[in-house]
């Protein structure tokens, strides 16, 4: 397993990443589930379809922690907590909500405009966001995960199996998928509210 930081910020890193947490068979298992995502993604609990299509175009499904999926949560927790202890040192309590499997497809120019992840359940304070790339970059075009850093967006490297981690208050987006489809798994680590 490898991890790396971006050489940009001197205080809080805009994003860091971890490689090698999941093998190809595990990534295939997750990707198959993301491809089957059939719930139209919402923003802030929902809005009118025309407005929503300007902000977010993707399909999602949710993964709770159970006997079949515990290994996913365990592997993610190890990678994210390792990065947190080295780079962020946020006070975390764990996964406060289900994991999100997302499918962005060329048929609707799948995307998610600039946003922050602080939402979620009312009693959950999201502190770190993690995006696990499930699709081989050769299988799609567009679909860049971008993180805003001091007015200049940075592309997260496209690599199957790469887990990008960043503070949930960070502005980020997924640019439109222009060819193929892109699947990802998104997780949020929670903890006591920032003070």
Residue 87 inside a domain? The answer is yes
Residue 128 inside a domain? The answer is yes
49 is written with which tokens?
A: 């379809």
Q: Residue range 100-115: average pLDDT?
A: 97
CATH number for the domain harbouring residue 124: 2.60.120.620
Residue 22 inside a domain? The answer is yes
For the chain, how many structural domains are there in total? Answer: 1
- CA distances, 80 to each of 69, 101, 113, 136, 151 (Å): 17, 17, 24, 22, 26
Note the pLDDT tens digit of each residue in 130-139. Answer: 999 999 999 9
pLDDT above 70 (res 107): yes
162 is written with which tokens?
A: 């790469």
Q: How confident is the model at residue 47 (pLDDT cuts 50, 70, 90)?
A: low
Range of the domain at 110: 2-6+13-190
Distance CA 110, CA 184 (A): 12
Distance CA 19, CA 183 (A): 17
- Using alpha carbons only, give the angle 5, 167, 40 rounded to the nearest 5 degrees: 115
Predicted model pTM: 0.90
- CA distances, 154 to each of 42, 61, 144, 151, 170 (Å): 25, 27, 10, 10, 12
87 is written with which tokens?
A: 């780079």
Residue 29 inside a domain? The answer is yes
172 is written with which tokens?
A: 């980020």
């Amino acid at each position: 397993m490898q991890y790396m930081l971006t050489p940009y910020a001197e205080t809080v890193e805009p994003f860091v990443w971890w490689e090698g947490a999941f093998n190809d068979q595990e990534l295939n298992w997750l990707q198959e589930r993301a491809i089957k995502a059939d719930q139209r993604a919402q923003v802030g609990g929902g809005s009118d379809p025309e407005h929503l299509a300007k902000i977010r175009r993707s399909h999602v499904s949710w993964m709770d922690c159970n006997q079949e999926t515990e290994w996913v949560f365990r592997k993610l927790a190890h990678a994210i907590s390792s990065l947190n202890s080295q780079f962020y040192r946020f006070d975390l309590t764990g996964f406060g909500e289900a994991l999100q499997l997302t499918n962005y497809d060329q048929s609707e120019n799948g995307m998610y405009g600039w946003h922050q992840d602080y939402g979620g359940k009312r009693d959950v304070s999201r502190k770190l966001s993690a995006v696990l790339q499930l699709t081989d970059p050769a299988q799609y075009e567009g679909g860049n995960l971008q993180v805003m850093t001091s007015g200049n967006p940075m592309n997260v490297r496209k690599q199957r199996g790469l887990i990008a981690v960043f503070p949930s208050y960070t502005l980020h987006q997924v640019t439109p998928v222009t060819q193929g489809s892109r699947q990802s798994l998104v997780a949020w680590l929670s903890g006591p509210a920032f003070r």
